[in-house]
């Protein structure tokens, strides 16, 4: 039986790792970094079915600030996904990254540490500090090891996300001060604030303003249309492993923030904005798919596909039903698995040909049959083919959204067209890359070997394990979803 000290272990291991790696010898840094990442993944696995743990210690008592941590199935599954993808990223980078290896590995562990701190935070100030801290390692990962336009991409990424964070800070200060004015006590505890403002509500227009200050910050991170323009540049310029973590984990922090903090804090305000936010989600689904279809850069195509796929997630969230929330969270995990795999696969051929132009490939099914098979499997998962993980998540989102009392069925029908558009641009990519006529000689390219099998096999297995037997992961998701909805007024279901 795990105790609350387990939360400290989850928090401290990646922070200590980030400090330890710079003092290692260059020859052993890859092996030690991988070993620590593997050990951390095993530590995370120990926590399966042991969530609902909490820990609290004073941070600055005069202002009511605490190191307040809480682990539920939402945060646990995202920590598990983060630790899993970090192993794959470090394994991929073993031979690819040769410059500044110690800094590179240290930043990856620091990024994981800040993500875990955000996911465990119950105190909103503690959450905000590490929400901002996440920017730092990702900024340097893209800015130092990225592509030719990396400085432009990092500045755009930083300015977008930092601007949103300022709005969140304003909303947080409002909550903090209003609570003090009503009670004479300082606190930033999410649960204390939520319970208080549900029993002593603020004027509704103030609730709406505070809610939207959080929503805009989280929407930029997702990113929700029209805040999505930073993402394609960041993905194109990021190193392969940076794109995997960005798509697989960091984008999910925005949707996690909506589900964990913004909507449970002010559910009535969420319901009042459900229609416009759902419309933005549908626009993102359709626009992201159409723009993805017209891309010639494979990475940019996958980046716009993320805008479309995460539009389904936000639609499920703003539909405000338990079924749509279960599907939305499952699709967050699915997107991390599938899109992470696609970025790793594109990185594999880019490292050989140093091009991401679709027109420069073709006929890879003959030259690289093993690569093509895995690429097709992951593409079909992205499309949502029955039997794969993508189908389960999208089906639950659309089903739950049809049951919604706050979102029109018209918008759900329009969102469904995104499934068709997804099939069009994804199968177009598969045809061009694997079966099209080669634009030039690809005979020098090598197929995947044992190292790549270590990368892709776990991801392929997860695609089918979730797709064919999703109960094992839906059950813990439903546990937290039900707990959140049971605390909402009028039993919003």
pLDDT tens by residue, 438-480: 777 777 888 888 878 888 999 999 999 999 999 999 999 999 9
Q: Report the SS3 class of residue 113.
A: helix
Answer yes or no: is pLDDT of 4 > 90.
no
Answer yes or no: is pLDDT of 126 > 70.
yes
Q: Burial, 444: exposed, middle or buried (Cβ in 10 Å; 0-12, 13-18, 19+)?
A: exposed
pLDDT at position 483 is: 92
Please give the average per-residue pLDDT across 110-136, as a whole number: 93
Answer yes or no: is pLDDT of 98 > 80.
no
Q: List, for residues 37-88, the tens digit of each pLDDT value.
A: 999 999 999 989 888 889 988 888 888 888 899 999 999 999 999 999 999 9
Residues pairing with 71 in the sheet: 53
Domain residue spans of the chain: 273-493
Please give the average per-residue pLDDT across 176-184, as a whole number: 91
The answer to whether the CB of 92 falls within 8 A of the CB of 347 is: yes
Q: List, for residues 184-226, the tens digit of each pLDDT value.
A: 899 999 999 999 998 889 999 999 999 999 999 999 998 898 8
Structure tokens at 471: 């109960």
pLDDT at position 406 is: 87
Give the number of other CB atoms < 10 A from CB of residue 482.
14
Please give the average per-residue pLDDT across 173-191, as a whole number: 91
Q: Report the SS3 class of residue 32.
A: helix
331 pLDDT band, cuts 50/70/90, is very high
Residues pairing with 69 in the sheet: 55, 121
The answer to whether the CB of 400 falls within 8 A of the CB of 319 is: yes
Q: Within 354-493, where are the H helices?
A: 364-367, 369-383, 389-402, 409-430, 450-468, 471-486
335 pLDDT band, cuts 50/70/90, is very high
pLDDT at position 330 is: 96
Please give the average per-residue pLDDT across 319-326, as a whole number: 94
pLDDT at position 492 is: 56
Percent of the chain with pLDDT over 90: 57
**Average pLDDT value over all residues in the chain:** 90
Structure tokens at 52: 């609902």
400 pLDDT band, cuts 50/70/90, is very high
pLDDT at position 490 is: 63
Residues pairing with 55 in the sheet: 69
My answer on whether omega of the bond before 466 falls inside 30° of 0, hence cis, is no
Structure tokens at 342: 């696609």
pLDDT at position 370 is: 92
Cα–Cα distance measured from residue 7 to residue 131, given in angstroms and rounded to the nearest whole number:
18
Percent of the chain with pLDDT over 70: 99
C-alpha torsion angle, residues 251, 246, 129, 17 (rounded to 10): 140
Q: The pTM is what?
A: 0.94
25 pLDDT band, cuts 50/70/90, is confident
Q: List, for residues 424-433, the tens digit of each pLDDT value.
A: 999 989 988 8
């Amino acid at each position: 039986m795990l105790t609350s000290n387990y939360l400290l272990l989850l928090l401290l291991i990646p922070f200590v790792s980030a400090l330890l790696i710079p003092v290692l010898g260059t020859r052993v840094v890859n092996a030690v970094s991988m070993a620590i990442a593997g050990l951390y993944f095993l530590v995370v696995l120990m926590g399966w079915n042991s969530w609902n743990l909490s820990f609290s210690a004073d941070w600055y008592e005069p202002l009511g600030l605490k190191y307040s941590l809480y682990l539920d199935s939402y945060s646990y599954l995202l920590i598990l996904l983060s630790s899993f993808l970090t192993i794959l990223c470090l394994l991929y980078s073993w031979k690819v990254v040769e410059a500044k290896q110690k800094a590179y590995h240290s930043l990856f562990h620091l990024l994981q540490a800040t993500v875990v701190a955000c996911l465990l935070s119950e105190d909103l100030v503690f959450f905000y500090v590490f929400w901002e801290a996440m920017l730092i390692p990702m900024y340097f990962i893209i800015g130092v090891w990225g592509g030719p336009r990396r400085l432009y991409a990092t500045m755009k990424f930083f300015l977008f996300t930092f601007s949103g964070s300022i709005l969140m800070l304003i909303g947080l200060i409002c909550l903090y001060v209003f609570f003090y004015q009503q009670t004479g006590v300082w606190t930033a505890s999410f649960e204390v604030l939520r319970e208080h403002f549900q029993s002593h509500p603020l004027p509704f227009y103030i609730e709406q303003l505070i809610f939207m200050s959080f929503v805009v910050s989280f929407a930029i991170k997702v990113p929700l249309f029209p805040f999505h323009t930073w993402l394609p540049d960041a993905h194109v310029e990021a190193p392969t492993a940076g794109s995997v973590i960005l798509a697989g984990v960091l984008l999910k922090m925005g949707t996690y923030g909506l589900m964990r903090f913004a909507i449970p804090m002010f559910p009535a305000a969420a319901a009042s904005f459900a229609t416009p936010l759902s419309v933005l989600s549908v626009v993102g689904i359709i626009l992201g798919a159409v723009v993805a279809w017209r891309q010639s850069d494979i990475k940019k195509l996958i980046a716009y596909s993320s805008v479309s796929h995460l539009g389904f997630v936000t639609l499920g969230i703003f539909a405000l039903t338990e079924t749509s929330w279960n599907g939305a969270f499952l699709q967050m995990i699915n997107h991390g698995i599938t899109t992470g795999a696609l970025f790793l696969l594109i990185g594999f051929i880019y490292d050989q040909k140093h091009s991401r132009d679709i027109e420069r490939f073709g006929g890879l099914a003959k030259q690289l049959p093993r690569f093509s098979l895995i690429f097709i499997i992951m593409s079909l998962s992205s499309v949502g083919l029955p039997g794969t993980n993508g189908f389960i998540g999208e089906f639950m989102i659309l089903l739950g959204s049809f049951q919604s009392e706050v979102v029109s069925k018209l918008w759900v029908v329009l969102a469904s067209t995104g499934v068709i558009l997804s099939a069009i641009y994804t199968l177009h990519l598969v045809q061009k890359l694997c079966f099209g006529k080669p634009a030039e000689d690809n005979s020098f390219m090598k197929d995947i070997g044992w190292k790549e099998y270590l990368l892709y096999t776990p991801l392929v297995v997860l695609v089918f394990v979730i797709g064919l037997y999703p109960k094992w992961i839906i059950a813990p998701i439903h546990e937290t979803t039900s707990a959140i909805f049971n605390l909402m007024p009028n039993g919003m279901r």
